[in-house]
Amino acid sequence: MGKVHPEIDDRLRGFIEEQVVFFVATAPSGPGGHVNVSPKGMRGTFVVLGPHRVAWLDWHGSGAETLAHLRDNGRITVMFCAFTGPPKIVRLYGRGEVTPRTDPRFAARLADFPDPPDPHAVRSVVTVDVERVSDSCGYGVPLLDYRGDRDLLVQWGTRRTEDDLADYRARKNSASIDGLPVF
């Protein structure tokens, strides 16, 4: 059924790069607080940087749980599942770091993405140092047809100025639903 791999090899990298959606899971430290699972997607927004390192572009959104949890404790799981072709689930467990657009390293992190959608409204780059790589069967994952990326998030961002985005982060993304600071 499942297997633990020493790293993201070429075969797993190919599988990861074929997927059009992935999920990230994080939780705050301690016994309280909410566990967060977020779907992510759009072609060009996820990159495998090496056998133990991945990253994705994080756009402004209605919440910022992942970023707050990473700031709190760094723990994260990234999951990919095949909705077409042979059934498979791949999970990457690791420690994440958030590089916000206000960080001097942001431009260098953004340069890791060879063909991103318009990055104007990217809020941060999330980089994960992968500590465990595993796969499992995915027999229960349904077959679904991919019709294309939604461009609404990119369009939303292109209509905002840098000041608008900064104001949005201050109003909507300053704390998690559990009150943890985001930036």
Instruction: Give 112-124 pLDDT, tens digit per residue.
Output: 999 999 999 999 9
Pairing of strands 53-59, 3-5: unpaired
Predicted local distance difference test score (pLDDT) of residue 1: 60
pLDDT over 70 percentage in the chain:
99
Q: Region 136-147: what's the mean pLDDT? A: 95
The one-letter amino acid code at 181 reads P
pLDDT of res. 62: 85
Q: How far is the C-alpha of 84 from the C-alpha of 71, rounded, in Å?
A: 35
Mean pLDDT of 18-29: 97
Burial of 149 (0-12, 13-18, 19+ CB in 10 A): middle
47 confidence band (pLDDT: 50, 70, 90): very high
Q: What is the reported pLDDT for 2?
A: 84
| DSSP H/E element including 4 | strand 3-5
Structure tokens at 122: 């990217």
Between CA 78 and CA 91 the distance in angstroms is: 6
Q: Which helix (H) or strand (E) covers residue 65, if one does?
A: helix 65-72
Tokens of 55: 């990253």
How many residues comprise the chain? Answer: 183
CA-based angle 13:45:131, to the nearest 5?
45
pLDDT mean over 56-70: 95
Tens-digit pLDDT profile for residues 64-103: 999 999 999 999 999 999 999 999 999 999 999 999 999 9
